Amino acid sequence: MDDEARKRAITILASILAYLLASRLSERFVEQPEVRGIRDDLKEALLSAASSLILTIVASLVIRRVVGSR
């Protein structure tokens, strides 16, 4: 697998995992008040950024192991 294909695979896998995890975690940690405040937006943004960072690293490790085993 060339470098461009590896980058694309990491991006796609990380995006899918981040979306699934962030949507489940945001439902759990972010309450849905009648009127959203800055605090709710901040929690959601931090949760999304943290999950995206972690899952990009996980996706990179998975792709490297798959490619490395071939």
Q: What are 24-37's pLDDT values in tens digits?
A: 776 776 666 677 78
| pLDDT at position 45 over 80 | yes
Mean pLDDT across 43-50: 82
| pLDDT at position 70 over 80 | no
What lies within 8 Å, CB to CB, of 18 at 6+ separation is 48, 51, 52, 55, 56
* Sign of the alpha-carbon torsion through 61, 17, 55, 12: positive
Query: Where in the sequence is the domain holding 59, given as residue range(s)?
Result: 3-68
Domain total for the chain? Answer: 1
Give whole-number Cα distances, 68 to 2, 56, 63, 65, in Å. Answer: 12, 18, 8, 5
- Is this prediction's pTM over 0.85? no
